[in-house]
Structure 1
Amino acid sequence: MAVPSPAYEEQLKAYEGRAATVAGVGKDPVNEPMIRHWCEAMGDTNPAYAGPDAMAPPTMLQVWTMGGLSGHTGRSEAYDELFALLDGAGYTSVVATDCEQEYLRPLRPGDEITFDALIESVSGRKTTKLGTGYFVTTRMDVRAGGELAGTHRFRILKYAPAQRKQRKRTEQPSPKDRTNPKSRRPRPVINRDNAGFWEGVARHQLLIQRCAGCRVLRFPWLPGCNACGCLEWDTVEASGDGTVYSYVVMHHPPFPAFDPPYAVGLVELSEGVRMVSNVVGVPYDKVRIGMPVRLEFQRYDEELELPVFRPGGTGEGGGG
């Protein structure tokens, strides 16, 4: 794709600060049924979100502004114009990259929600693994009864997909492919919140977080307890015993890092938490809900070792 002219990028930058939504109104007031459904979906049992003095979970901030299929009144043409400008230059694909929220006051049942949104920034041209394009950040100010309750920033990438050599669907990965760094299984994302888990995996330990306040176990790892909100925690080592709570069989077209079809299980550990991993050592069509499994660590290359589960802890063969 040709490098855009400075004039084109000036056109994009001209949209910074323009309104995307003006005087938007939430379609529903903050209400208990939506709070209950959210908490059930998230498995969040914090007592602050129920009862006569209930508040909405802070992360529901954007929920109260969603327009559904019919959209909102007050939407400006600026956002559509910006997208048309990007589409016209070949940046036709879009992916959400991240969001940031700031909470200034709790929202409670009965609060009437209003909001304004603007295009906060358009980045310069960036090249990513997905392709080349522009990051667009929208800021939404959410109000309850006219008082600022929180701010939501949502960032997307509008890009032209990178050209990749496509493998024929009938072509199977070769042993050489499997040792090619470009064909290796994707690396896990390790950050300050989950680094301890991966350090445990390196020692062949499956570590589960335990809240220092209410002693509730949690998995996957989180920076704070979703039961009581405590930020302090320690860990317990899983015994390695579990059962298949649910599973799916992946049939996507093969590429060198994977060899479908294969089974991905939601495994309930004997400690009561659940984790997603491959079920190995058994044909994918023989995996069943309730099947007892046992933890093991499987090496995929010289850098990557992952926790997987084998039926009953016995049996031969590989997988994943």
Structure 2
Amino acid sequence: MTPEPQPNSAPLGARVAADAVGPITDERARWACEAVRTVADAIEVAIQGKRRVIELVIATAIAGGHVLLEDVPGTGKTALARALAKTMHGTSSRIQFTPDLLPGDVTGITVYDQKQGIFEFHAGPIFANVVLADEINRASPKTQSALLEVMEEHQVTVDGQTHPVGEPFLVIATQNPVEQAGTYRLPEAQLDRFMIKTSIGYPDDAAMMRILQQIARTPEVPAVMNAGTLTQLQQFARAVSVSPLIASYVSQLVEASRRAGEVRLGASVRGALALVRMASAWALVCGRSYVTPDDVRELAIPVLAHRLVLEPEAEFDGVTAEAVIGQILIDTPVPQENGTA
């Protein structure tokens, strides 16, 4: 039997036992929805007026993926990552990526202990539950490649020795799309390992007023869950029902991305799996035990768009990957039955 959810001092809802692995019950789905709502409320203390982005990031953590936040400076990318880390009773770290950052500065290094006559591994900042990779596109391609193994396998290999980073594990990377001096474009293999790519954007007038009114004090983000609770939510997400109709719909969307005339390289198999996993986590966010076509449509752009490589002519004409996925969603027939079929 797996352990039941263990909320800390701030309750996350009814305590739900997770005994046998199988389809998730409505009771567990409601508990998961309440847990996500509590965490989102806590993060909103620091990030005003961005509920959907907050829920997307939480859903990505539940799905076991990683987040790429691309936005202009000063919109709260770093604050969002820090706030998520503070809501957990887990470990967090921040890596400021710079051109002189070395792979060992991220993963850790092996040092020879002269007294004991042995080599000892000194873990790097990547060994944490929530890792903020700030301005990731400022590091060299060699340093960026140090993240490939750990983002996919949740482990690092140094001098032939493998070291697991522990669970849960989430990388939140940020990059500035405006200032390109001294930056390196993320390779396609790196982008493919981010489950979603999204942006925060500027706050609306009401949120801006709240931000300005609390400028004299630093909002304190409460810790409302522990790493065990997040692990429990991840187990629930894997038990969410995904019908053959939903799987077929995802397959059609991915195949259409490869056939689009503006696209040189379409979404990968990893992208299709990421869409299903994110849709399962999103169903929990909505308090459901099954995935619907609307879940897939809601997440198709943030999950698939950054994985596309457009033809140079299309980019020159101003075509965006988001627009391509949007058109595919219009052209692809939507299943008429929900995920319980």
TM-score by length of structure 1 reads 0.22
> Going by fraction, where is strand more abundant, 1 or 2?
1
Structure with bigger gyration radius:
1
Higher relative contact order (Cα pairs below 8 Å, separated by 6+ residues): 2
The normalised TM-score by structure 2 is: 0.21
Instruction: Please identify which structure carries the higher helix content.
Output: 2
